[in-house]
Amino acid sequence: MKTIFVSLTGKTNPSVFNCYSISEWFYFSPNYLNFHLLKENSPSTAKYNDIGEILQEKALELKNSYIEVIGRLSTRYSKKYPLAWWTSMVAERNEMSTHAFLTVCYYNIFSDIYENENFQNRSLIVVESISLYHLILNQLRKRYKVVTLGKPYFLTWTFLRPKIATVYRIIKFLSWAFSGTLQQISNLYSTSDSKMIFIRTWISDKTISADGKLQDVYFPGLCEYLEKEGYEVVFIPNFYNLTLSTKEIQKRINKCKYQFFIPENYLIWKDYFKILVVLIYQVVISRLDDVKHRGKDISKILTETQRTGMFSSYIFIAQAFALRNLSKKDFKIKSFIYTFENMFPEKPLSYTVKEYFPGVNSIGFQHSVLYPLQTCLYPAAQEWKDMPLPDRIVCSGKFFLDIYLKHGAPRERFVIGPALRFNNLISKCEKDQGGSSLKVFMKNRILIVLPLAEPEALELAIKSSGAIKLLADNRELKIGLKPHPMMPVRNLETIKTFFNDIQCDMAIVDKPMDDVLPQYSLLITMASGVIFDGMIEGLPVIRVGRSSSLNFDPADYLEDNPYDFRAQTVEQLNALICKLLLFEDEERIGLVHYGRKFVKESFVPVNENTLQSFISVN
C-alpha cells in the first residue's frame, strides 16, 4: 500500500523532504512565500507537480456552475435573513479576500489525481485550508496509508486565526458602538430646494486634505458636474487605510464644502441592538450543510469561509439602519450613486434604497477593470432577481458591457457611461494622435508595478527578482519598483529585500504613472489594469501568472491580442525579459497603435453628454 503524507502549510518546512524520503509533492495554498521557501530547499529527488496552468483551466471550467450553486444558496437564505446573508463571505464570493472558490478548485484537482490513481508512493500534499485538509484525508484513507505531519492542527495559526479574528472584531464592534466615533460631524441639512444626490465612496488620508479639499479617486469630476447641473451632493464615506486620528478626520470633513452623511449621527440605541442581532443571525447561518457542486460536497469549504468573516460587516449594516432612519426625514433625494463590484459593502445600501426610498434611484458604477476569475463580479441568473443590486449600472465602455452580457446579465439593467478612472488614457490617446512615430523609446529599463494585495505583490517580487538575476549581464539595467499607492510600508520593505543582491541600478518610484511610464522600456505586473497604460506608451507588458492561486488578469478578456506576453515561472519570465528588452522601435509603434485603438473602442470619454448617464437612468 502506498504511503501519502499530508501537511498544513504553516507546519511544513523543507526538512520533511529528506526526513520522509518524499518522491513528489503537491501544493494547494495561495501562500507563495512559503511555497518559494519549500521549492528552493527541496532536493532534486522530490519532484514538484506544478498545478498553475491546470488551476486556471479548472477555474474557468467550474466558475459558472459554482456561481449558480451560491445563487441557489442565496435564494434559500436571503428571504429570512437578508442583511445577514448578503453581508456574508460566501454570498459575496470575493476571491481577493476569501478563497472559497479557489479551495473548490483545489479539491477538484486533487480528486482528478486521486481518481486517476496518479499519486506515487511517498507523495506529499501541502494544504492551507483546514476544510480541504479533512476532505483530502477522508478520501485518501479509502485507498492509501495516510501520515499527517505537524499535528495537532488545532494549534496551527491557520486554525486559530479566524477564531482570534472573530474575537477581535467583536471587541471592535463593541468599541465602535460605545465610542460615538465621528459624531462631532454635523447632521445633514438642506441648503436649497435642489434635490440631493448621495455618492458613497472610499475615503483615505490621501483623498481629503488638511484644508478639506476632497479628491475622489473613484468618481473624479462627477460631483462638480452634478453641482453644475443643480444637484446638492452628499458623500457617504467608507474609510480605509486611515493613519490620522479621528479628531483630525473630523476637522478635515468639517472643512469640506460637501456634506457628509455619518451613520452614527442617525443611529439610536435600538439600532445597535438590531445590528448585533443581524451579526448573530450571521453566526447562526454560518454552518452550511449538504451543498453539492459537480457531485462533490463542498459544505465544509463554504462553512469555513463563512466563519472567517463573522462580525466583519457591522459598519455597512449600520449604514443600512442609519439610512432607514434618514428616509423618515423630509429630504428631497434623487439618487444614490456608488461603486459596483458586487461585494458585500454594497448590498446593505442597495437593500435599503429599495426597501425605504420609493422612487429614488440606486446607480452602480463599474469603475475598474473586470477579471474573468473574480466570481463576485458576475451574479447568477436568479441573483439578478433576488440580490440587492443597483437599479442601473453605469459601465465604463462597451468592452465591459459586452463582458457582463456574455455572463447572462440583463441588458436593461445597464447603461454605457464615462470611463471616469480611465480618462487619462483617453486624453493621452487624443493628445498624442498621429505623433507615435516621433516618440523616443528608452532602452534597458524595467518597471515592475506591484499590486496592493500582499500575496500577489510578494509573488511578483520573488519571480521578477529571480528572473532578473538569471540574466547573463544585468549591470546595464535600470529597475523601477512602483508599489500600489495604498501598500503598507512594511510590505514594501519586505519586497525590497528580494532585490538586495541585484547588480544594477534600482529605485522605488512614487510619481504618477503618466510621468513614470515614458522613462521605461518594459513593464512587468500582476493583477493590474496598468497593462492598458503600458500599451499606449509602447511598452510591452509581461503579465505574470500565479503558481498556486487564481489569476486576476483583465487582459485575459482581450481576444486576438498580438502582444500577449504571459509568464508563470521564473524561467518563462526570464526568457520574455531577454526577448522584449530587444523590442525594436517599429514594434513599439505597432504596440502603441494597437493600444490606442483598443482604448478608443473600449472606453467612453468623459464629457457632459456621457456624464448624463448618472442622472438620466430611466
Q: Is 499 helix (H, G, I), strand (E, B) or coil?
A: coil
Least confident of 52-56, 192-196, 341-345: 192-196
DSSP state of 187: P
> For 76-99, what is the mean pLDDT?
92
pLDDT at residue number 153:
61
- H or E stretch covering 363: strand 361-365
> For 557-569, what is the mean pLDDT?
92
pLDDT grade, residue 617 (50/70/90)?
A: low
pLDDT at residue number 154:
62
Q: Is 300 helix (H, G, I), strand (E, B) or coil?
A: helix
Q: What is the mean pLDDT of the chain?
A: 90
CB 532 within 8 A of CB 598: yes
DSSP state of 267: -
Identify how many contiguous H helices and E strands the chain contains and give both numbers: 24, 20
pLDDT at residue number 435:
57
pLDDT at residue number 424:
87
pLDDT at residue number 27:
97
Q: Tens digits of per-residue pLDDT, 313-330?
A: 999 999 999 999 999 998
Q: Tens digits of per-residue pLDDT, 369-423?
A: 999 999 999 999 989 988 999 999 999 999 999 999 999 999 999 999 999 999 8
pLDDT grade, residue 192 (50/70/90)?
A: low
Does the pLDDT at position 437 exceed 70?
Answer: no
CB 551 within 8 A of CB 373: yes
pLDDT at residue number 165:
78
> For 35-56, what is the mean pLDDT?
93
- Dihedrals φ, ψ of 202, to 5°? -105, 130
pLDDT at residue number 56:
96
The Cα–Cα gap between 419 and 372 comes to 20
Does the pLDDT at position 581 exceed 90?
Answer: yes
Name the percent of the chain lying above pLDDT 90. 72
Which three cell numbers, joined as nine digits, stand for 482?
Answer: 512602483
pLDDT at residue number 592:
92
CB 64 within 8 A of CB 26: no
pLDDT at residue number 290:
94
Dihedral of CA atoms 394, 399, 404, 409 in degrees, nearest 10, equals 70
Domain 3-59+98-159 has CATH 3.40.1010: yes
pLDDT grade, residue 196 (50/70/90)?
A: very high
pLDDT at residue number 102:
98
Taking alpha carbons only, the member of 399, 389, 327, 391 closest to residue 356 is 327
Taking alpha carbons only, the member of 336, 389, 293, 359 closest to residue 82 is 389
Least confident of 135-149, 199-213, 543-557: 199-213
Q: Which fold has domain 438-602?
A: Rossmann fold (3.40.50)
pLDDT at residue number 302:
97
Least confident of 47-51, 169-173, 290-294, 554-558: 169-173
pLDDT grade, residue 436 (50/70/90)?
A: low
pLDDT at residue number 472:
74
pLDDT at residue number 272:
93
Q: Tens digits of per-residue pLDDT, 224-280?
A: 999 999 999 999 999 887 788 888 888 999 899 999 999 989 999 999 999 999 999
DSSP state of 382: T
Does the pLDDT at position 438 exceed 60?
Answer: no
> For 430-439, what is the mean pLDDT?
63
Degrees (nearest 5) of the Cα angle 424, 427, 429? 110
pLDDT at residue number 74:
93
Q: Is 162 helix (H, G, I), strand (E, B) or coil?
A: helix
CB 29 within 8 A of CB 157: no
Taking alpha carbons only, the member of 73, 119, 120 closest to residue 92 is 73
Q: Is 193 helix (H, G, I), strand (E, B) or coil?
A: coil
pLDDT grade, residue 484 (50/70/90)?
A: confident
Taking alpha carbons only, the member of 192, 218, 185, 193 closest to residue 203 is 218
Which three cell numbers, joined as nine digits, stand for 146?
Answer: 495516510
- Dihedrals φ, ψ of 221, to 5°? 85, -10
Taking alpha carbons only, the member of 416, 428, 411, 392 closest to residue 604 is 416
Report the amino acid identity of residue 602. Answer: S
> For 37-56, what is the mean pLDDT?
93
Q: Tens digits of per-residue pLDDT, 592-603?
A: 999 999 999 999
pLDDT at residue number 430:
79
pLDDT at residue number 244:
84
Q: Concatenated DSSP letters for 103-148?
A: HHHHHHHHHHHHHTT-PPTTEEEEES-HHHHHHHHHHHTTTSEEEE
pLDDT at residue number 489:
81
The Cα–Cα gap between 138 and 447 comes to 47
Q: Tens digits of per-residue pLDDT, 350-376?
A: 999 999 999 999 999 999 899 999 999
pLDDT at residue number 487:
83
pLDDT grade, residue 298 (50/70/90)?
A: very high
The Cα–Cα gap between 185 and 180 comes to 11
Q: Which residues pair with 447 in a beta bridge?
A: 480, 523
Does the pLDDT at position 543 exceed 80?
Answer: yes
pLDDT grade, residue 475 (50/70/90)?
A: confident
Residue 31, Cβ neighbours under 10 Å: how many? 19
pLDDT at residue number 434:
59
pLDDT at residue number 246:
83
Q: Tens digits of per-residue pLDDT, 3-19?
A: 999 999 878 889 999 99
Does the pLDDT at position 101 exceed 80?
Answer: yes
The Cα–Cα gap between 375 and 363 comes to 21
β 123-127/3-8 pair status: parallel
Q: Where are the domains of the chain?
A: 3-59+98-159, 438-602
Least confident of 187-201, 412-426, 557-571: 187-201
CB 28 within 8 A of CB 110: yes
